[in-house]
């Protein structure tokens, strides 16, 4: 069993819930911040002793919504229980309108070395549709400010938004390629149960982007971002060489990680667990000395092997087949091997340097392939 070398901390606060979002989020409850910091500090203390990790990722929610003083307390608690190894990566998700020189100074002084901006778009109409409360100018300024303090700055973009056309997407991409960014993530808009958009789509109040348009947008992003020196290293992620997100590779490689905060998942030993998604319940449980865990599942060898294949295939380099067959469950390996020929024959997968990887034809439809490998 490997001891986690990665940790995820979830901060659930947001100004308002965006209509496409189904994450663990509470809107307008900053009066809970002190309770939250106290609860996460308690949860961290359940580690019993400090654990050195190579990566920390503070996600949300909107972590940068935390006022400065509780933010400092949270970061200090994280540093106490999860000291970062030399050269380790410490990321925080940030909202563009929260980024200023003071915040960058605070984050950098505490040891954070990577900023991930939830930008989504620079276009006013698209931002309005997505319910975002920043402007394109604010996003551009936040990238420039963050780049003055951090070598590693990433931005998330969404494509395939109702009403968006190719010109809007091209303009979003040209805004990111003209700025100093080490990393870009691009996601096609999804309609998740629990999100406002999901109901609106069912009722015909919004119209999803046509599949062909979404495919063209994805292919255009790959072409443009790679032309600008950002290597396509995972289905949705692009980075300058050496700036790939190390933390996310934990998930893609099936490695262990700690999770803290409401709704946070963790994978320790062979157990996958998820904390209560309700922030209120999470706080109450921590305040009453109870476990925050809502569900846990022990993954047997077969499941771990299948997950390592499926998540590993999200990486453009693919999966090292001999390494997987050496360490994986033979029955799971045989089951995977049985499915492979049809995906090779359809041109969705190929061999490259001892790895099985997705082809350019397989990439856009990869999500539909994995059902055969569970």
* One residue of 21, 112, 283, 336 binding ligand SF4 per CB under 6 A: 21
CA nearest to 348, candidates 340, 336, 338, 358: 358
89-118 residues in contact with ligand SF4 (CB under 6 A) are 118
- The whole-angstrom separation of Cα 288 and Cα 35 is 12
CA nearest to 121, candidates 99, 101, 137, 104: 137
CB closer to ligand SF4 out of 61 and 292: 61
Question: Counting contacts by CB under 6 A, is residue 9 touching ligand SF4?
Answer: no
Mark the segment that binds ligand SF4 (CB under 6 A) among 14-22, 74-82, 251-259, 271-279: 14-22
Mark the segment that binds ligand SF4 (CB under 6 A) among 12-20, 32-40, 81-89, 215-223: 12-20
CB closer to ligand SF4 out of 116 and 315: 116
Smallest separation, CB 98 to ligand SF4 (Å)? 11
**115, 147, 173, 346 from 242: Cα distances, Å:** 15, 16, 21, 33
CB closer to ligand SF4 out of 190 and 271: 190
* One residue of 6, 9, 11, 18 binding ligand SF4 per CB under 6 A: 18
CA nearest to 50, candidates 9, 78, 89, 10: 78
Given the structure tokens 């262990």, which residue do they identify? 256
CB closer to ligand SF4 out of 60 and 259: 60
CB closer to ligand SF4 out of 117 and 153: 117
Question: Counting contacts by CB under 6 A, is residue 29 touching ligand SF4?
Answer: no
CA nearest to 221, candidates 172, 267, 274: 172
Residues contacting 83, CB < 8 A, separation 6+: 50, 51, 52, 53
CA nearest to 190, candidates 180, 201, 179, 181: 201
Smallest separation, CB 261 to ligand SF4 (Å)? 13
- The whole-angstrom separation of Cα 189 and Cα 208 is 9
Neighbours of 120 (CB within 10 A): 25
Contact 299, 270 (CB under 8 A): yes
Smallest separation, CB 143 to ligand SF4 (Å)? 17
CA nearest to 163, candidates 216, 207, 221, 211: 207
52-81 residues in contact with ligand SF4 (CB under 6 A) are 60-62
CB closer to ligand SF4 out of 117 and 313: 117
Contact 368, 346 (CB under 8 A): no
CB closer to ligand SF4 out of 195 and 336: 195
Smallest separation, CB 63 to ligand SF4 (Å)? 10
* One residue of 17, 35, 42, 73 binding ligand SF4 per CB under 6 A: 17
Count the alpha carbons within 13 Å of 324 in the hemisphere toward its beta carbon: 27
CB closer to ligand SF4 out of 118 and 328: 118
Q: In this structure, what DSSP letter does residue 316 have?
A: T
CB closer to ligand SF4 out of 17 and 42: 17
Question: Counting contacts by CB under 6 A, is residue 220 touching ligand SF4?
Answer: no
Q: Which residues bind ligand SF4 (CB under 6 A)?
A: 14, 17-18, 21, 23, 25, 60-62, 118
């Amino acid at each position: 069993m490997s001891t986690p070398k990665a940790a995820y901390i979830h901060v659930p606060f947001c100004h308002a819930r965006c209509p496409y979002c189904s994450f663990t989020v509470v809107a307008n409850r900053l009066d809970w911040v002190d309770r939250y910091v106290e609860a996460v500090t308690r949860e961290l203390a359940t580690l019993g002793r400090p654990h050195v990790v190579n990566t920390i990722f503070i996600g949300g929610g909107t972590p940068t919504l935390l006022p400065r003083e509780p933010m400092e307390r949270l970061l200090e608690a994280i540093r106490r229980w999860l000291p970062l190894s030399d050269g380790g990566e410490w990321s925080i998700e940030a909202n563009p309108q929260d980024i200023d020189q003071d915040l960058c100074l605070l984050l950098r002084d505490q040891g954070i070395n990577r900023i991930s901006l939830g930008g989504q778009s620079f276009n006013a109409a698209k931002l309005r549709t997505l319910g975002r409360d920043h402007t394109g100018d604010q996003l551009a300024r936040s990238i420039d400010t963050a780049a003055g303090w951090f070598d590693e700055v990433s931005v998330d973009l969404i494509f395939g938004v109702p009403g968006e056309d190719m010109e809007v997407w091209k303009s979003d991409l040209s805004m990111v390629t003209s700025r100093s960014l080490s990393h870009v993530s691009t996601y096609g808009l999804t309609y998740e149960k629990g999100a406002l958009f999901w109901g609106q789509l069912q009722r015909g109040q919004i119209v999803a982007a046509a599949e062909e348009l979404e495919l063209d947008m994805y292919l255009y992003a790959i072409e443009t971002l790679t032309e600008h020196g950002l290597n396509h290293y995972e289905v949705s992620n692009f980075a300058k060489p050496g700036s790939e997100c190390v933390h996310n590779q934990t998930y893609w490689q099936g490695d262990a990680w700690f999770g803290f905060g409401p709704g946070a998942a963790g994978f320790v030993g062979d157990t996958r667990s998820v904390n209560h998604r309700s922030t209120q319940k999470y706080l109450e449980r921590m305040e009453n000395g109870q476990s925050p865990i809502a569900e846990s599942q022990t993954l047997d060898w077969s499941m771990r092997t299948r997950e390592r294949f499926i998540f590993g295939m999200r990486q453009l380099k693919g999966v090292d087949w001999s390494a997987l067959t050496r360490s994986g469950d033979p029955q799971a390996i045989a089951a995977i091997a049985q499915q492979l020929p049809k995906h090779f024959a359809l041109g969705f997968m190929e061999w490259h340097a001892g790895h099985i990887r997705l082809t350019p034809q397989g990439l856009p439809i990869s999500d539909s392939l994995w059902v055969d490998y569970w």
